Structures are given as C-alpha cells and as structure tokens.
Amino acid sequence: MNTLLLQPTDVLFFRDGRPMGGSLSGHAAAWPLPTVTNAAVHAALHRADLEKKLGGKLHGHDHHRRNGERITDVRKFGSLITAGPYPVLSGGRTWLFPRPLDAGLDKGGNDCAAATLLPLAKGFSADQSSLPEPLRYALANENGPTKKAPSTWWNAAAWENYLGTSTNNAAPEFHEDADFADTEFSYGIGMNTDTGTQDGERFYSAHYLRLKPDARLGLLAEARDKINSDPNDKRDLIPVLFPNSGTRTPVIVGGQQRLCTVEAYHRSAVPLPKGKCGGFKGQDPEGKDIWLVKWALLSPAIFPAIQADPSKGITAHPGGWLPNWICQQNGAVLLKAGDTSRRERESREAWRQRVRSEPVIPATLVGAVVGKPVPVTGYALPNNTDPDRTEGGPKPTHLAVGAGSVYYFTCDSEDAAAKLAGALNWHGKDDFNTIRNRRSTLFGEKGFGLGVCGTWQFHSGNLPTT
C-alpha cells in the first residue's frame, strides 16, 4: 500500500454529530476517525480529473436506487481502501497506536508493554454475575488499584513486546495526546446569508486540533482501478493523485475546508504492529493443555444489530460490543476455516454458497474488555444527480467498539488457534506487507476492524475479595 503523511497547514476541525452552539464546543479537537480521512481521499480523487490525466475512462460501479432502478457505471473509486489515520512523530518515523485496554502500569506505577488485566481462573455462570452472554471469565488486575492513568498511545515496538512478536531491540515508547497535538479554542457568531452580517441570535465556541511541528497524520491507502473494465489489468490511482514529485500535494481534511499537504511513499512497508501467528499453547484452570488467543483492535470496529430473515438464512444478532461473527448463545466463532476469497469470475451467489459450506473455526469467545462506545456519524451533502440524495442530511449514527479493545478466545488445538489468528490478524498468517483482514462488519474498507493477535494466561495472583 501507499503511505501518506498529512501535515496540516493550520488547525484542524473534526466535529462529531453532537449539537454545537452556545457553550457546546462540538468536540472537534478529537483524533479523527477512519471515515474522515477516507472521505478526504475519496473527495480528492473526484476533484483530480484523473480521466484527463490518464487519457482514458475510469471504471465505474452500478448503483441501485431505492425505487429499484439500476444506474450503470455511475459510482467511481469504489476500490479505494484506507487504514488510519494514526499519529506519526519525528517527521514520519514513529507511528503511534492506541494502547490495548488490558495493559496498564507495573507495580512501580510506570507504563509497561505487558498485560496487567487477566481473566480470572474461576468461571461465572449467568446467574452468578453480571457478565453478558456469552462471556465466562471476568478480568482482574495483577498489580492492584492505582489513581495514575497509563499512557494513551504506544509505538509499534511497545505493541510487539506486548504481543510477544518483537524481533529486534527497538525500545517501547509511551505517549500522551499532548506529545503530538494541542487543543485550541475559538468563538464565532451566526451570520445572516442575505445581509452578510451577524444574525443577532447565534453564538458558538469551537475546539480545534493543532498538531505539533514534527507530527503528522499517517494514512495507508490504495485504489486499484480496472483498466478498460479488465479485472486482470489494474492500476493504483493513489500514486497518480499524490505523485510526490518534489512538491507536496494539498488535500482538504475534516470540516471548515481545512488544508493538509501530503507526503507520499509508494509501495512502502506497512508500519502496523505484527500479530502472533503461533505459540498459543497454555493451560486451563485444571492444568489441562489449551490454546489461548486474544485479539486486540488497532482501529474501531462496528458490529450492527441484525434482524432475523429466515428466507435468507439470517439469524438475529444484537451487535454492539459483540462481533457479528460470534454466536451470542455460546460464544462460538462463526468465521470459516477454509478459503473465503472470491474467485475470478465467480458470481456473488455462488461465492456465498461455497463459503457457507466451509467449516467454521473451532474456537470460543470467553472474555472481553471494551471501552466506551465511539459514535460514528457524518453528513451527506445534496447531490442533484442522485435522486436518493437531492436534499442531503445526516448519515446514520453507529456506535463502534473503540480501538484497544481486547477479546479472549480458547481453542482445543494448535491448528484451530493458528486458523483463528490467520482470520483475525490484519496481515492474515504471515504476509506483513498486505492488509488482508478487516473484521468490522461495516466500513472495513475505510479502515475499521484492524486487529492483531497475541496469547494470554489466566490470573495467577490472589483472587479479589468483597
């Protein structure tokens, strides 16, 4: 993929869907969600007039309107996939990622690249605890309570030490928001569009995000477009959009038309932490061999509630914090163990039938630690060429599981554990230069659902008492 380092020319504005006015600031200084930078690159592709630059027609996608009408070849750049943004320090050398939520402080009160929250060896049934189904194990802190909060961001070396995948002597680094950004405040007034003067009614305050001089927004992007609609002949449009030929290409990011310049590196290594692919053997509370896999999110993931549809073989699922590929009743993993990739010239229906016949990975979800839900929303501008969006308006709001959330699984064999890790690691089994898995039910192409696997063990200290 292509690495894009975005450097703001001024403050940035990333407001969420909450109201803004009076004392409400709009929460616009938060770190941007993957939807924001994906939309920025998508809009830049549309503005670039690539058909003129490339001297040929770009591949489009058909669109089905709500009234059932089908429009042919109207939506372009559907092949765009992104990952990020992540804070990048030292002018592009140090990428930072959200801390896993089961990692805290050591006994001395210092940051450590190790899990400090571990599942208790004692299981709890539904009538003995408030654990939601299908969880079996609560988590306890190995090091006891403290009022000091751990750092928010880790570098890749810290993550790989935590996962047990480090292959070099790179030092773990722990950072706070203030290491790469500041929050600035501004005040404004409502304007009368007819007179160009203050409307005498509205007043608002706003937060803005200002990055430090050596900080960047790091983004991975790719847009492989079919040439003459040939699936075997594709070109990546990102190097055309951001050639990086001695000058930095501008791009609009976030609200209020804020500008960033882009420094692009094509065919560069993926800087995400590497997950564990084997070595998951452990012991259960009775001392029997068992294989223990945990999955930690590097980016948010969205698991929507699903309504049952027996005619299509769809069962109901609550979504929310529970992945849609986990059975709500018993925690069984529903991901397939076989080849789920769509083959060349295979119809969508034939692909679905083939995947349904594949066996599932024999693994079970037994524990989880998740943060507060993250609201994901947006606003669609009016589009006179699309009858479904002539007036525009707010997009649906989704509640995502936050980055850093951790899920714990048990498997009965090394083979099952390896297959589960291959299905959950962003890089699959061992291809560390390709993003293969995005385990968010929605917005995977925008960078949601990236995660890495490690192993875990049961809590070995004294059990907490009431």
3 state SS of 386: coil
Examine the domain organization and report whether 286 and 378 are in the same domain. yes
pLDDT of 110 above 80: yes
Examine the domain organization and report whether 190 and 328 are in the same domain. no
pLDDT at 18: 65
Examine the domain organization and report whether 387 and 421 are in the same domain. yes
3 state SS of 159: helix
Instruction: Give 193-236 pLDDT, tens digit per residue.
Output: 888 888 777 777 788 899 999 999 999 999 988 776 666 778 88
- Integer Cα distance of 59 and 226 in angstroms: 6
Of 457 and 351, the structure prediction assigns the larger pLDDT to 457
* Residue 186 confidence class, pLDDT cut points 50, 70, 90: confident
Question: How many other CB atoms are there within 10 angstroms of residue 308's CB atom?
Answer: 11
**Could you tell me if residue 138 is inside a domain?**
no
- Integer Cα distance of 285 and 459 in angstroms: 10
**In 3D, which of 449, 416, 430, 38 has the Cα closest to residue 222?**
38
**Could you tell me if residue 116 is inside a domain?**
no
Of 311 and 58, the structure prediction assigns the larger pLDDT to 311
Examine the domain organization and report whether 300 and 229 are in the same domain. no
Range of lowest pLDDT (295-309, 369-383, 429-443): 369-383
197-211 and 181-192: which strand pairing? antiparallel
Examine the domain organization and report whether 288 and 256 are in the same domain. no
CB 177 within 8 A of CB 149: no
pLDDT at 204: 73
Examine the domain organization and report whether 303 and 415 are in the same domain. yes
Examine the domain organization and report whether 234 and 298 are in the same domain. no
Percent of the chain with pLDDT over 70: 88
**Could you tell me if residue 41 is inside a domain?**
yes
Question: How many other CB atoms are there within 10 angstroms of residue 89's CB atom?
Answer: 20
- Integer Cα distance of 239 and 233 in angstroms: 16
CATH number at residue 239: 3.30.70
CB 414 within 8 A of CB 278: yes
pLDDT at 72: 56
Q: What is the mean pLDDT of the chain?
A: 87
Instruction: Give 221-275 pLDDT, tens digit per residue.
Output: 999 887 766 667 788 899 999 987 556 788 999 988 899 999 999 887 899 999 9
Instruction: Give 114-163 pLDDT, tens digit per residue.
Output: 999 999 888 777 677 788 989 999 998 888 788 899 999 999 999 999 99
pLDDT of 16 above 80: no
pLDDT at 466: 46
pLDDT of 69 above 80: no
- Determine the structural domain holding residue 39 and report its residue range: 2-91+181-265
**Could you tell me if residue 169 is inside a domain?**
no
Instruction: Give 305-363 pLDDT, tens digit per residue.
Output: 999 988 877 889 999 999 999 999 999 999 998 778 888 778 878 888 888 888 999 99
Examine the domain organization and report whether 292 and 221 are in the same domain. no
Which of 205, 235, 265 is a domain's end point? 265
Examine the domain organization and report whether 38 and 74 are in the same domain. yes
**Could you tell me if residue 466 is inside a domain?**
no
CB 315 within 8 A of CB 323: no
Which of 237, 265, 293 is a domain's end point? 265
Range of lowest pLDDT (107-111, 380-384, 392-396): 380-384
Instruction: Give 395-428 pLDDT, tens digit per residue.
Output: 889 999 999 999 999 999 999 999 999 999 999 9
**Could you tell me if residue 461 is inside a domain?**
no
How many independent structural domains does the chain possess?
2
**In 3D, which of 374, 315, 364, 410 has the Cα closest to residue 133?**
364
Examine the domain organization and report whether 419 and 304 are in the same domain. yes
**Could you tell me if residue 130 is inside a domain?**
no
pLDDT at 95: 97
**Could you tell me if residue 108 is inside a domain?**
no
